[in-house]
Amino acid sequence: MSSPVRKEKYPVVDCDIHPMVADVRRLLPFMSESWRRHFEVRGMRVYARARDRYNHPNITYRADAVCPDGGPAGSDMEFMLATHIEPFGIASALLLPQQPYGVTAWGDPDSAHAFYAASNDYFFEQWVPFDDRMSLAVTVSPHDPKAAAAEIRRFAGKPGVVGIQLLLLDTMLGSGTLDPIYEAAVENDLPVVVHQSGSEGCYYGSQGVAGGVPRSYGERHVVLTQVGAANVVDVIVNGTLEKFPGLKFVMVEWGFSWLSHLLPRMDLLWQRDPKAAPKAKKLPSEYVREAFTFSTQPLDETESPAELTALLETPGLESMLLFSSDYPHYDTDDPGFVIARIPDSMRSKVCYENALATFGDKVMRFRDPAAASA
Amino acid sequence: MFVDCDRHVGVGQYSDLFSHMPLAWQRHFERVEFVSSIDEASNHIRVSERWDHPHVDLEPPGDDGDEYLLVPHQGLTINGWADRVGAKVFAAAINSYGLENWASPTRKLALVVSPHDPAWSAAEITRLATAGSGVGAVAIPLGDSMLGSFTLNPIYEACLGADVPVMVHFSGVEGRYLGAPPLSGGVHLSAFSRLSLMPHLAESNITSLVFEGAFETFPDLRVIFAGFGFTWLPSLMWRMDREWRTFRHDLPWVKEPPSTYLPGRLWVTTSPVEEAAISGEWDRSFSSQQLRSLLAFGSHQPFDGDSAADVTRVLGDAAAAVLTNGKAAITGSRESVSP
């Protein structure tokens, strides 16, 4: 980062950082011999978005995040530490590996599983031990929920593993087909982190926005938040949180300004006709406030301080909001810029307290030596 | 006095429309399953899994001094029809029936057109929306293309020629019938989910209109979104402006920040107004005149709708203007109506 930086008063948990494998072939040693041969012959597609359909108008990453050796942005842990984590006083970086998003465009469940399992091993072995500030969400996919559950149990309890990055296919989060994943999540007290992959709106096997097909990248990006909202509704309506008390969802990069209208709408509809959503036993907004958190990025650019205040005064938001930067993507939110806009009354919650409540103490392995000596 | 931009009307039985069709098409539609499917059309507008709805009187209100934009919702359901040719005959029959039986100087009819045949739709508008005809708007059932698509330009040209706004209301089959527009996410089997997410259709189509440059191509176009609620407007405007700032070089045809295109061109109706009250959203987010100018009273009556008193209770001092904003939407007049 080239901009002046400052350390925050509170420790910051950055809930959206995307590490990369510099060369995806480095995952091959983490696979069985047969899978290694499979991918050596067939290659590995590591991007989810159909780039002949929605090509990004610029580049998808920050130019200043490209590694000194020319490696992909996000692929050098030392560079990330020096340019993003250290300068902003980030106490915990939730690593959401990006290359597994590509499997959302794959049709073969076994290949998908082999790939994301290798990615999990790679980041657990290479990145998590590198620094206590590295917190990993292991990636699983709904291609094969039982295999995904086994993958969760394989990593559960390991230091530095704090959550599950669940990819989205066409199945929404309230579907009973995902129950094996949720059972494993609850059993191991691991929140389910859901981040857009880029495949949304691209394929018959992916989820999309309402209305049809946006023409351009930017138009699609305006309404992409709808997919996150739709999955929140789906979880409530299908009684997932009644079935799995204690299950937590972390919705990353879906925005949050839509909560102020979605929650009242659901509550109003439920109050008028509770039998229309018979698996919901209480106000939908109560489920959301108990079980969901939402990341700050992309922070909506309100036109005035009054609008920003209105945005952040959505009832219950102070306990649902987690700081996120989306480093090293093109639309990274500068931590200093964003946190300065969070009111004093909720700043500590957004910086780290809500993350602690969501992920538990394991998200805060790092102890600042300076703070300790003081 | 108020102007209600979302007052539903309908026929009691589909056979009432037969005399407004060519004889051959009467014969086509004279079948038990089609005639009895009228119950399903009424269900759609409620987006409900109840199949035992109490009878609803779909006749228009009397001439009581207030003004209405009549929405013949049965016609909107053609966006779920597989037979898009028959759908045009059906829409034309509703238009003909409505102008003959429902429209009056204070009760203007929203003509139903076909999103699948813009040329036919344009001809229908030009033929029927003449001075004093009782046409108040052109209702476009949501189809394959979002509203910013250039394929709909003939409809917009005809609307401008007739000086009537476009109006959009969900039919209820969206996200449910194959061929109708999807809702966000995946497939929603629950009607509760579909109704919860229905505002996304308005968001996507408003974004489409702005980002595809429809308001640059047709700067005098007026569009009313009815029945979708309105509390999502601030969030949508922030997101549109942000993405435009990021990608405006990719959208050279969008020359101004998206939110600036909306005043005087877009109106969103108020129902269900209670959404704005339930957690204080009205007081928190709707203090600006720009936002308030985008709202127009829409009762959604006789389906689970609001009264003018409901709007006054929730919107307070702003209600008087909102109750009459529909006048400008329908006529293009900037003159306010005496409350």
CATH of the domain at A37: 3.20.20.140
Select the residue of B203, B229, B275 nearest A226 (Cβ to Cβ): B203
User: Which amino acid appears at position A254 of this protein?
Assistant: W
Q: How many CB atoms lie within 10 A of CB A126?
A: 15
Q: What is the pLDDT, as a whole number, of residue A7?
A: 66
Chain B partners within 8 Å of A306 (Cβ): 287
Candidates A169, A171, A215: best to mutate against B (most CBs of B within 10 A) is A215
Percentage of residues of chain A with pLDDT beyond 70: 96
- Please state, in angstroms and rounded to a whole number, the distance separating the CA atoms of residues B11 and B17: 8
Name which of A115-129, A212-226, B37-51 the model is least confident about.
Answer: B37-51
Mean pLDDT on A17-43: 97
- How crowded is residue A56: how many other Cβ atoms within 10 Å of its Cβ? 16
CB contact under 8 A, A208 and B49: no
Report pLDDT digits (tens) over A229-241.
999 999 999 999 9
Nearest by Cα to B5 from B241, B166, B125: B166
CA distance A114 to chain B (A): 26
The answer to whether the Cβ–Cβ distance between B200 and A268 falls below 8 Å is no
Per-residue pLDDT at A29 = 98
Give me the residue from B188, B196, B203 closest to A265, CB to CB: B196
pLDDT at A2: 40
Q: Residue A326: what pLDDT?
A: 96
Q: Answer yes or no: do A210 and B236 touch at CB < 8 A.
A: no
How do A90-95 and A134-140 pair as beta strands?
parallel
| SS3 label, residue A90 | strand
For residues B58 and B305, the answer to whether their CB atoms sit within 8 Å is no
Q: What is the pLDDT of residue B339?
A: 35
Write out chain B residues lying below 8 Å of A176, CB-based.
none
Is A292 inside any structural domain?
Answer: yes
Q: For residue B275, what are the domain limits?
A: 3-331
Beta strand pairing call for A249-252 and A90-95: unpaired
The reply to whether residue B285 touches residue A208, judged by beta carbons under 8 angstroms, is no
Within-domain flag for A309: yes
Looking at the partner chain, which of A230, A307, A331 has a beta carbon nearest the beta carbon of B246? A331
A78 part of a folded domain: yes
Phi, psi of A30 (to 5 degrees): -95, 15
B292: domain CATH number is: 3.20.20.140
Region B264-278: what's the mean pLDDT?
A: 97
Instruction: Supply the DSSP string of B53-110, one letter for each residue.
Output: PPP---SPPP--S-EEEEEEHHHHGGGG-S-HHHHHHHHHHHHHHHHHHT-BTTEEEE
Relative to beta strand B223-226, strand B166-169 is: parallel
Q: Which residue has the tokens 């350390």?
A: A7
Considering the domain boundaries, does residue B338 fall inside one? no
Q: What is the ipTM of this complex?
A: 0.96
Quote the tokens at residue A236: 């409530």
b/e A40-49 (16+ beta carbons within 10 angstroms → b): eeeebebbbb
Position A168 pLDDT exceeds 70: yes
Interface touch B185/A298, C-beta < 8 Å: no
What's the rounded Cα separation, in Å, for the pair B303 and B8?
A: 8
Q: Is residue A373 part of a domain?
A: no
Alpha-carbon separation of residue A82 from B26, B183, B297 (angstroms): 76, 43, 56
Min Cα separation B338/chain A (Å): 31
* Structure tokens, A366: 């790092």
Whether chain B has a CB inside 8 Å of the CB on A293: the answer is: no
Residue A232 domain-assigned (yes or no): yes
Instruction: Out of A57, A227, A307, name the one closest to residue B250 (CB).
Output: A57
Residues of A within 8 A of B276 (CB-CB) are: 264
> Which residue would you say has higher pLDDT here, B49 or A224?
A224
Q: Distance between CA B127 and CA B217 in Å, rounded?
A: 23
Tell me the C-alpha distance between B36 and B303, whole Å. 20
Q: Structural domain tally of chain B?
A: 1
Q: Which residue matches tokens 């097909």?
A: A213
**A1-10, A249-258, A348-357: which has the minimum mean pLDDT?**
A1-10
Q: Do B183 and A230 touch (CB under 8 A)?
A: yes
Residues B61-86 have a mean pLDDT of 96
Q: What are phi and psi of B212, to 5 degrees?
A: -95, 5
Asked, for residue B41, whether it belongs to a domain, the answer is yes
Q: Which residues of B touch A277 (CB under 8 A)?
A: 190, 192-193
Give which of A104, A108, A116 is closest to A205, Cα–Cα: A104
CA A65 to CA A59: how far, in whole Å? Answer: 12
Mean of all residue pLDDT scores within chain A: 94
What's this model's pTM, rounded to 2 decimal places?
0.96
Angle, alpha carbons B253-B255-B256 (nearest 5°): 145
Say yes or no to pLDDT of B190 above 50.
yes
Banded model confidence at residue A9, pLDDT cuts 50, 70, 90: confident
- C-alpha dihedral (A309, A311, A316, A322), degrees to nearest 10: -100
Cα nearest neighbour of B232 on chain A: A261
Query: Which residues in chain B touch residue A337, judged by CB atoms under 8 angstroms apart?
Result: none
Chain A residues touching residue B142 (CB < 8 angstroms): 211
Cα separation of the two ends of chain B: 5
CA–CA separation, B161 vs B288, rounded Å? 33
Structural domain for A312, as ranges? 12-359
**Rounded Cα gap, residues A303 and B241, in angstroms:** 9
Q: Which of B165, B184, B210 is nearest to B6 (CA)?
A: B165
**Amino acid (one-letter) located at B244:** W
Inter-chain touch B246–A264, beta carbons under 8 Å: no
| Closest approach of A227 to chain B, Cα-based (Å) | 5
Mean pLDDT of B33-37: 94
- Inform me whether the C-beta atom of residue A351 falls under 8 Å from chain B C-beta atoms: no
The Cα–Cα gap between A274 and A267 comes to: 9
pLDDT the model gives residue B49: 87
Whether A216 sits inside 8 A of B247 (CB atoms) is yes
Domain membership flag for residue A234: yes
When pLDDT is cut at 50, 70 and 90, the band that residue A374 belongs to is very low
The verdict on residue A369 lying in a domain is no
* Residue B336 predicted with pLDDT over 80: no
- Total number of domains in chain A: 1
Q: Indicate whether B336 belongs to any domain.
A: no
**Residue at B293 is within a domain:** yes
Residue A328: inside a domain: yes
Residue B285: pLDDT above 90?
yes
